[in-house]
Each structure stands twice: as C-alpha cells, then as structure tokens.
Amino acid sequence: MAQFSELKGQTVVVTGGANGIGAATVRLFHEQGARVFFCDKDATGGAQLAKELGANVSFQCVDLVNEREIVSWVRQVKAEAKTIRVLVNNAAWDPRIPFLEITSQQWDDLFALNVRAGFLLARECIPAMARGGSIVNIASIVLYNSPKNLVGYVATKGAVLGFTRCLAREIGDRGIRVNCVSPGWVFTERQIRDYLTPENRKLIHERQCIPDHIQPSEIATVVLFLASDLSAAVTGQEILVDRGWQHS
C-alpha cells in the first residue's frame, strides 16, 4: 500500500469501526499514521480492535441513534485533536423486511442510524475541519439493483447519496470535499454468516464482471483515496466499488 504522507498525524473519525468495512478502514488509516477515533455500538469488538492497534487509535461505544451521545463523542474528539481531517460515515444497518411488514418505528430507526447519524456527525465535525478536509459517506449499489425486502434500507441509501451531493455544494467554499462510496456485495463476517447462500454465490458470479469476492479492505482503499490529496479535485461524486455489477 502506498503511503499518503499528508495523512500522517491527521485526525480521522470513523463510525461503525468495530467490524467489516469500518474495521478495515480504521486499520488502513492507522497504517498511514493517522490518529484514528472510531465508534461502534459493539463495545467488545471495538475495544479489541483498539487494543490490537495500540497507539493513535481511540474507541468509544456510541449509540448513533442518540444525538446526545454523538455530540458528546465529537466534542471529546475535538478536545483531544483540535482539528479533524477526515470523517467516514460508515455505520448502517440493512435488515431484510418485506415492505408490508415494516413498522413505522423500524422505518424511523433505519433513517436515524443510516441517515440522521451521518448528518449529525457532519454537522459536529465540519467546524473543526480546515481546507483539504474530506467527508466520505458509505452508500450501496442496492440503490440501483433494488433487491426485494430492502425498501427501507434502499431508501436510506438514496438519502445518503442526495445528502452527499448537496453537502458538497454547500461546504465547497470551505475547501472541504464530500464524496460517497457505494459498495457491491462485500464479504464481511456478518454477510457471510447471515446472507451468503449458494443461490447468492451464483448471483454474484453471474452479475459481477469480475466474479471475485469483494473484501472489506478493498472498500477501505477507495475511502483512503477519497480522503487523500490524490482526489483533491473530486467532490460531490459517487464511486461504485462492485466489480462491475452495475455494468452488466
């Protein structure tokens, strides 16, 4: 992995960093010498990762549907770090629920975690970001292939994309970029455990241009690109990281 010297010593904030894409992102920024603050509701997984990585990594158990906890955590980060270079809004939930069975509470909870949390994190972090800062939101290719039983989740990811594009315009004069990464089917431990059936393996093989399984680290490398100076002219954009699923 190439070294991005501009990120060494810089503060990076990551949500949902205990597992999957989030954990891969925390590891990658740590390898770049960044000071990484990450949160997750998984206290055990987060604490284990922070202990494993050691110096320059801080973990906080945060319920991202609770505004007070978000505000309190970001205030702690700003008190320690003063400035924030990168915010990665990764945390999300994707329950499979048939549309006619979704309750209004489940709908509201999905938007609270998948959309509102990102808005709150951005609102709290932006005042501590200088020119050259970067916000990376994680969406999904489900916005384009519209699988069954995911109407609530897909709706939230459409909102994330809209939020990304409009926020990029609004804070562009601050020199802060806002972009979105939309992963395909990523082989996280949870996806493998809960959803990877022989039928889904066959579907992945048929739909992706390159049938290899997407790993969390491959999403993290695109997040790193969007946080680095290599993408200095890129803002308000969405990058699909799906091995060509949407090409087919």
**C-alpha Rg value of the chain to the nearest Å:** 17
Q: How far apart are CA 77 and CA 130, in angstroms?
A: 15
DSSP state of 213: P
Known active-site residue 195 = no
**Which one from 29, 59, 73, 153 is the annotated catalytic residue?**
153
List Cβ neighbours of 108 (8 Å cut-off, separation of 6 or more).
none
Annotate 6-48 with three-state secondary structure. HHCCCEEEEECCCCHHHHHHHHHHHHCCCEEEEEECCHHHHHH
What tokens appear for 161 in the block? Answer: 């994309």
| 101 membership: H or E segment, kind and range | none
CB 91 within 8 A of CB 15: yes
DSSP state of 114: I
| 126 membership: H or E segment, kind and range | none
Q: How far apart are CA 143 and CA 159, in angstroms?
A: 10
CB 81 within 8 A of CB 37: yes
List Cβ neighbours of 67 (8 Å cut-off, separation of 6 or more).
120
Active-site amino acid positions? 153
